[in-house]
């Protein structure tokens, strides 16, 4: 794991206000490092837009600035989580994704920034 700045154990409410900006960078760093090694395999680099209805994949990393990425993570889009593509508006944009017990709709332009790894071959749930 890469360098991680933070506070272990007792996190007082006051502290994390200060550390928010520092941690943004740390988290992104963390995720990039977590995912960077695993992506160099033969698994093709796909994003959520490549999923058709019913396809499942594992989220790899989120290619968005800190605040946007955190919002997505809070909703359940965490690296390592299973995402299943659901129904969409006519035309496929935006599309609903089932993740961590919820259904969240994303536009193509956002889905494009979420890298995934397919489980097995694309098209198998």
Of the residues 36, 44, 54, 109, which one makes contact with another protein according to CB under 8 A: 109
Q: Which is nearer to another protein, 57 or 106 (CB)?
A: 106
Helix (H) or strand (E) holding 118: strand 114-118
x-or-dash pattern for another protein, window 65-94, by CB under 8 A? Answer: --xx-xxxxxxx-xx------xxxxxx-xx
Count Cβ atoms within 10 A of the Cβ of residue 114 and give its class: 0-12 exposed, 13-18 middle, 19 or more buried: buried
Q: How far is the CB of 113 from another protein (least distance, A)?
A: 8
Q: Which two tokens stand for residue 77?
A: 């889009």
CB-facing half-sphere around the CA of 105: CA atoms within 13 A: 7
Q: What are phi and psi of 99, to 5 degrees?
A: -150, 135
**Footprint of another protein (CB under 8 A):** 6-14, 16-17, 19-20, 23, 26-27, 30-31, 64, 67-68, 70-76, 78-79, 86-91, 93-94, 96, 98, 100-107, 109-110, 113
């Amino acid at each position: 794991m890469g360098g991680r700045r933070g506070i272990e154990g007792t996190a007082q409410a006051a502290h994390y206000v200060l550390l928010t900006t520092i941690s943004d960078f740390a988290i992104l760093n963390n995720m990039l490092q977590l995912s960077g090694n695993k992506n160099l395999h033969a698994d093709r680099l796909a994003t959520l837009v490549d999923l058709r209805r019913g396809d499942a994949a594992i989220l790899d990393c989120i290619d968005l600035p800190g605040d946007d990425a955190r919002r997505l993570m809070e909703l359940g889009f965490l690296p390592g989580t299973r995402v299943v593509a659901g129904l969409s508006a006519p035309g496929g944009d935006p599309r609903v994704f089932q993740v961590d017990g919820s259904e969240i709709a994303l536009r193509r332009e956002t889905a494009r920034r979420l890298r995934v790894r397919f489980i097995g071959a694309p098209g198998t749930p």
